[in-house]
């Protein structure tokens, strides 16, 4: 039965749908119709969840761990999270200083929804993950996107940060390694940003460390609360098992931060979704406390793929791809294709046109950079095996060569 729509929430109406999920859905539709699409669109590792983690989940089901958990997470998992923050990030975390959520997205949503009021501003260095500005907008606050050019490594400079802070600024959202650019902030770069933040005691910082283990070229990972402990009382350091242990579908994210903030987030979660899936929590426990060789092996695989993909993209007419320091994304400029016509006759007037033409004509799915706040670029998630990546690069290259002025 078709009925006329009734009013929706105004903040939701003003928000954009997730561009990453739109491309993921397009891929699913075309595959269902029989097309052979190589998808470089979804930001998720292609590896299977490690066997010992799978076994822990099965054992949890058999042991009857199938009921509600505490809202903030199983005590054992919170202890494992605290131990992880101590061991890997040098943060003096107690289990009481942690919160477990249904994926990293819920950590961010809880934090923003617990703190933002209409008129508040949230500084988001761009390019940024598609969901940050929309989550801010859904809370009735204003995302302030700060463009970070390729020339500055797609990174926020202390001056740009200082210029953007106003009396309405509530949060700075930092993400290193970055989705979509793969940019990695060094400890020195974070220290320079911290210098600015120390002068603004009303500003909270969300440090989204979800790609922590994917830092390449032997570079160390750094996080703000470790680099500048004076900011720890107003920093929410968040992470999750999705990217480190190939567990995107299990939906477990976690965070540490000031007690007052964690309590507010827990209160919100208690009224909205309750604790995260009990079985996934047992799986996350096995991931955090178990052997860590998977993390090293996947980093090596992604580093090798990065090298191969960046080299191939730079050999494509019309593309230019800087070398990312981490995550599993290449962020390639497609400026050289804008204004050209694809072999199938499509005018390429924007990076979205390029992404859609690549999908239709080359059967390769990528996401347009403008969805992340900077165009004309393409985000290319190289989370596929070497052979599939070679085929994808062949198809992208043929597409580029087939374009005409
Ligand atoms: N984080 C991934 C991406 O950027 C998953 C999709 C999403 O949640 O946006 O592709």
Question: What residue has token string 């990528």?
Answer: 366
Tokens 């097309």 sit on residue:
35
Tokens of 17: 């749908």
Most informative mutation of 17, 28, 44 for ligand 1 (most atoms within 8 A of CB): 44
Pocket residue to mutate for ligand 1, from 179, 366, 368, most atoms within 8 A of Cβ: 179
Question: How far from 113 is each of 22, 63, 269, CA to CA, in Å?
Answer: 24, 35, 10
Nearest ligand 1 atom to the CA of 41 is 10
Minimal-distance CA residue to ligand 1 atom 2:
43
Q: Which two tokens stand for residue 218?
A: 């032997």
From 132, 213, 135, 194, select the one nearest 146 (Cα to Cα). 132
Residue 300 has a pLDDT of: 97
pLDDT at 1: 65
pLDDT of 371 reads: 96
- As averages over each run of 10 residues, the pLDDT of the chain (405 residues) reads 86 91 91 94 94 98 98 98 98 98 98 97 97 96 96 97 98 98 98 98 98 98 98 98 98 98 98 97 98 97 98 97 98 98 96 96 96 96 96 98 95
Q: How many CB atoms lie within 10 A of CB 21?
A: 14
For ligand 1, residues with CB inside 6 Å are 18, 20, 42-44, 129-131, 179
Domains of the chain: 10-48+294-401 (3.90.1150.10), 51-289 (3.40.640.10)
Q: Which residues contact 394 (CB under 8 A, 6 or more apart)?
A: none
Determine which residue's CA is closest to atom 5 belonging to ligand 1. Answer: 43
Q: Which of 296, 333, 292, 328 is nearest to 313 (CA)?
A: 333
pLDDT value of residue 3: 80
Hey, which residues does 331 pair with through a beta bridge? 379
How many other β-carbons are positioned within 10 Å of the β-carbon of residue 40?
Answer: 29
Q: What is the pLDDT of residue 277?
A: 98
Nearest ligand 1 atom to alpha carbon 381? 10
- Report CA(18)–ligand 1 centroid distance (Å): 8
What's the CA gap between 103 and 110, in Å, rounded? 11
Residue 4: what pLDDT? Answer: 84
Give strand ranges (E) for 120-168: 121-126, 142-147
Residues 330, 382 contacting (CB under 8 angstroms): yes
pTM of the model: 0.96
Q: Could you tell me the distance, in angstroms and rounded to a whole number, from the CA of residue 181 to the centre of ligand 1?
A: 13
Q: How far apart are CA 189 and CA 194, in angstroms?
A: 9
**DSSP-derived secondary structure letter, 395:** H
Ligand 1 atom 7, closest CA: 20
Which residue bears the tokens 């940050």? 132
Alpha carbon of 42 to ligand 1 centroid (Å): 6
Strands 377-381 and 329-333: antiparallel
Question: What's the 198 CA to ligand 1 centre distance in angstroms?
Answer: 31
pLDDT of residue 119: 94
Report the pLDDT value the prediction gives residue 2, as an integer from 0 to 100: 72
Q: Which two tokens stand for residue 404?
A: 């005409």
What whole-number distance in Å separates Cα of residue 256 and Cα of residue 72? 11
* Protein residue closest via CA to atom 9 of ligand 1: 20
Mutate to test the pocket of ligand 1, among 16, 26, 129, 238 (most ligand atoms within 8 A of CB): 129
- Terminal Cα-to-Cα distance of the chain (whole angstroms): 49
Tokens encoding 278: 């009990």
Span from the CA of 64 to the centroid of ligand 1 (angstroms): 32
Radius of gyration of the chain (CA): 21
Distance from residue 20's CA to the centre of ligand 1 (Å):
6
374 and 178 Cβ atoms separated by less than 8 Å: no
Is the dihedral angle over the CA atoms 219, 225, 229, 231 positive or is it negative? positive
Backbone angles phi, psi at 296, to 5 degrees: -65, -45
């Amino acid at each position: 039965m078709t009925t006329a729509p009734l009013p929706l929430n105004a903040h939701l109406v003003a928000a954009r749908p997730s561009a990453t999920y739109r491309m993921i859905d397009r891929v699913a539709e075309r595959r269902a119709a029989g097309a052979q699409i190589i998808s470089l669109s979804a930001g998720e590792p292609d590896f299977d969840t490690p066997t010992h983690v799978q076994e822990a989940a099965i054992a949890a089901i058999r042991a009857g761990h199938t009921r509600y958990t505490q809202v903030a997470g199983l005590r054992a998992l919170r202890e494992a999270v605290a131990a992880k923050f101590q061991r890997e990030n040098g943060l003096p975390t107690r289990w009481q200083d942690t919160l477990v959520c249904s994926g990293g997205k819920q950590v961010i949503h809880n934090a923003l929804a617990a703190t933002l009021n209409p008129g508040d501003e949230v500084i988001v260095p761009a390019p940024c993950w598609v969901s940050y500005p929309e989550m801010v907008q859904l809370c009735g606050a204003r995302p302030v996107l700060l463009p970070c050019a390729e020339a500055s490594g797609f990174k926020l400079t202390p001056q740009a940060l200082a210029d953007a802070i106003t009396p309405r600024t509530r949060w700075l959202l930092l993400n290193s390694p970055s989705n979509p650019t793969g940019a990695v902030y060094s400890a020195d770069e974070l220290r320079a940003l911290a210098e600015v933040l120390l002068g603004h005691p009303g500003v909270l910082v969300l440090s989204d460390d979800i790609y922590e283990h994917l830092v390449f070229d032997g570079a160390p990972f750094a996080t703000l609360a470790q680099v500048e402990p004076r900011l720890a009382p107003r920093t929410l350091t968040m992470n999750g098992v999705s990217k480190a242990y190939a567990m995107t579908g299990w939906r477990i994210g976690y965070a540490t931060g000031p007690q007052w903030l964690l309590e507010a987030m827990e209160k919100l979660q208690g009224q909205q979704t309750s604790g995260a899936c009990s079985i996934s929590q047992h799986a996350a426990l096995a991931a955090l406390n178990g052997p860590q060789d998977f993390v090293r092996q996947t980093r090596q695989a992604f580093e090798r793929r990065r090298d191969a993909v960046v080299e191939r993209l730079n050999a494509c007419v019309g593309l230019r791809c800087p070398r990312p320091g981490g995550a599993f994304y290449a962020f390639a400029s497609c400026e050289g294709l804008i204004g050209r016509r694809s072999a199938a006759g499509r005018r390429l007037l924007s990076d979205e046109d390029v992404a859609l033409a690549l999908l239709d004509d080359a059967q390769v799915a990528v996401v347009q950079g403008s969805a992340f706040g900077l165009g004309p670029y393409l985000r290319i998630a190289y989370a596929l095996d070497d052979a599939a990546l070679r085929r994808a690069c062949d198809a992208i290259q043929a597409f580029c060569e087939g374009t005409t002025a």
